[in-house]
Structure 1
Amino acid sequence: MADFSYASLTPDLILDAIESTGILVDSGLLALNSYENRVYQFADEHKQRMVVKFYRPARWSTEQIQEEHDFALELQEQEIPVVAPLVLGGSTLHQYQGYAFALFPSVGGRQFEVDNLDQLEWMGRFIGRIHAVAATRSFAHRPGVSVEAFLYQPRKVLDQTTLVPEELRLPLFTVMDQVIVQTAGQYQQGTFTPIRLHGDCHPGNILWRDGPTFVDLDDCRMGPPIQDLWMMLCGDRPQRLLQIDTLICAYEEFCDFDHRQLVLIEPLRAMRMIHYMAWLSLRWEDPAFPRAFPWFSTPKYWEQQILSLKEQLSALQEEPLSLMP
């Protein structure tokens, strides 16, 4: 699709864009693991490692990207370990040859261990701190977590794609529609006050080195606070009960938490599953996606999604997680 073509984003253009901000590049460009955007690491003339991020054209407006940047800077000002864009020439967002881009410091670390309760306790405290700041105001331009954006629109996308094998369409959409009905009902009955969120707070977006560092606020949006917590849960039900109890007890040291949100965990998981399938389908014409996700167009992938949706339908019908007494 032309709207998200990176065909003209050549190495020379990347270097010229970086140097248009006054930063001189003194190394090659190392492509980092990003598919939605194009992200490269390099060293400047002072041998400092930096990262440049080129935003996918036509995905976010200038105002939406600026809100992401302002949110990151606001958190950073409160000494919360978030990787925020660099302010260069009085601005964090730059334009070059039709591309919007930003520069960030390069940070290192390993992925945090979701089954490590000590690290989960750290995570709970820091997300509590993030949300205490986030709740002080709302986004004006960023979207929210909604059934329209995460269920109904993705369902339309998947219905139109030719990537689903014809013989699997009926079983796939039969169970998907059941999941959508159940999920939409439960989510819309949920009780929460929407706040600004990281939005995509999974372990891959958290680097660990003497504590957590949060990266990639590209999907920040308004929504229920539990959205920034549930993706850290793993394992069987007893494990998840212990994990959520650990997270929220630490979270509440810095921010109040409405326990009624716990009923949203499985609906949010179902929304992410369906949204992810549609996201891959929408991006399939970007050459990076068939290379990175070759299994997406295979019958085996869609057979697995049918099974996963059936399991999720069962999970939606189970008793929600609750905190330990």
Structure 2
Amino acid sequence: MNVTEASPKEVSQAETPFSNLTPDFVLDAVESMGFVSDARIYTLNSYENRVYQVGIEDSQPLIAKFYRPERWTDKQILEEHAFSFELQDLEIPVVPPMLHEGNTLLNYKGYRIALFERRGGRAPELDCEDTLYSLGQYMGRIHAAGQATPFEHRPSLTVESFGSKSREFLLANNYIPASLLEAYTTITDQLLEKVTARFDLIDYTPIRLHGDCHPGNILWRDDKPNFVDLDDARNGPAVQDLWMLLSGEPERQHIQLANLVEGYEMFCDFQPKELGLIESLRSLRLMHYVAWLARRWNDPAFPMHFPWFNTERYWAQHINELREQLFALEQPSLKLMPDF
């Protein structure tokens, strides 16, 4: 695959990187790729990038994704695209970008764009054992491919990238209210110490991951899962793609895990020791998420859709969540059911 070199600097990198994306601009961008729009356009639920469903005359609508400037390099985006095609070639149900004149990463007036087939579906029923078994099978197939070679350009999920750097950004930019600063610094010091110790204790081999495999990124269609949005694909422990499919009380999670792993091991060896990373990964996700909101706060879409963020009450709640994670890290790790 080739790429038409994008020119992100042509887009304002100040506080509103998507301010030019009016409906007419989006339609013009899609039509510049050779499509004829029927002028129907719907904004889809995406904040990091901007994603639209665009109606096409005498054809199915397509999905147009405008990448946030400066988040990923061209090489990192193309590596994500290549991974999705690799999975598609293995008949794993993913949604790869469409090709236009041999390219998947397109350019329109400085914006980097990818077009996708629209694929509908519903959320998977995670209380259904057959659904979990099937999810495990497909995740095992994804990870079997992911083990072949790591990403060269895309980042890795580490304590530093998700935890330490998130904390540093919030403190350096004075997001934590003065009344809660001591509590925040104390709890994050303790949490990062325990998470680091856990990562040092558990030896694992990083593989290519979906990276953000929560139920909202899985569409159940034709009796199988369709995995969408590989935008957060990165190197990391395999269990990162599994733990977000577990929920509820420990007894319920044991049953869910057993069904997932039973399907998973049809195609890929599961490493039970990685279960000891789940609460650490959950802690890092919490820290990364709030720093993500803070980093994007100058984007007008964020105050509009997350009005509860950056209030004293919010930070108090976040500190309590981190305290709960500190407690969870001191509890026995989730394990496979004895009869598995």
Normalised-by-shorter TM-score class: over 0.9
Secondary structure of 1:101's counterpart equals: strand
Q: Cα offset for 1:188?
A: 2.6
Q: Is the 8 A contact 2:27 2:39 kept in 1?
A: no
5+ residue gaps, structure 1: none
Q: Distance in 1 between matches of 2:196 and 2:126?
A: 28
TM-score, normalised via structure 2 length: 0.92
Does residue 276 of structure 1 match 2:289?
yes
Residue 224 of structure 1 is matched in structure 2 by 237
Residue 117 (structure 1) shift: 2.3
Q: Runs of at least 4 residues of structure 1 off by over 6 A?
A: none
Q: Deviations over 1:235-267 (max 9, x none)?
A: 111111221121111100011112111111111
Q: Which residue of 2 aligns with 1:265?
A: 278
1:51 CA drift (Å): 0.3
Q: In the alignment, what sits opposite 1:174?
A: 186
Match of 1:308 in 2: 321
Q: Deviations for 1:241-298, whole angstroms, at most 9, x for unmatched residues?
A: 2211211111000111121111111111111010001000100000000111100122
Task: Supply the distance in 1 between the matched residues of 2:16 and 2:248 (Cα, whole angstroms).
Answer: 37
The corresponding residue for 2:143 is 131
Aligned residues of 1:21 and 1:89 also touching (Cα < 8 A): no
After superposition, where does 1:286-297 map in structure 2 within 5 Å? 286-297=299-310
Alignment map for 1:31-110 (pairs within 5 Å): 31-110=43-122
Does the 8 A contact of 2:15 with 2:298 survive in 1?
Answer: no
| Alpha-carbon RMSD | 1.3
SS of corresponding position for 2:309: helix
Report the secondary structure of 2:145's partner residue.
helix
CA distance in 2: counterparts of 1:106 and 1:191, whole angstroms:
40
TM-score by length of 1: 0.97
Task: Check the 8 A contact 2:15/2:299 in 1, yes or no.
Answer: no
Deviation of the 1:3 alpha carbon: 6.8
Q: Distance in 2 between the 1:165 and 1:116 partners?
A: 44
Tell me the CA shift for residue 4 of structure 1: 6.0
CA distance in 2, matches of 1:131, 1:61: 24
On the 8 A contact 1:199/1:219 being kept in 2, the answer is yes
What is the CA distance between 1:138 and its match in structure 2? 1.9
Q: Name the % identity.
A: 50
1:4/1:57 contact within 8 Å kept: no
User: Is contact 1:3–1:57 with CA below 8 Å preserved after alignment?
Assistant: no
The whole-number CA distance in structure 2 between the counterparts of 1:110 and 1:273 is 26
Task: State the shift of 1:147 in Å.
Answer: 1.2
1:274 partner SS: helix
Shift of 1:162: 3.7
CA contact (8 A) 2:254 2:335 kept: yes
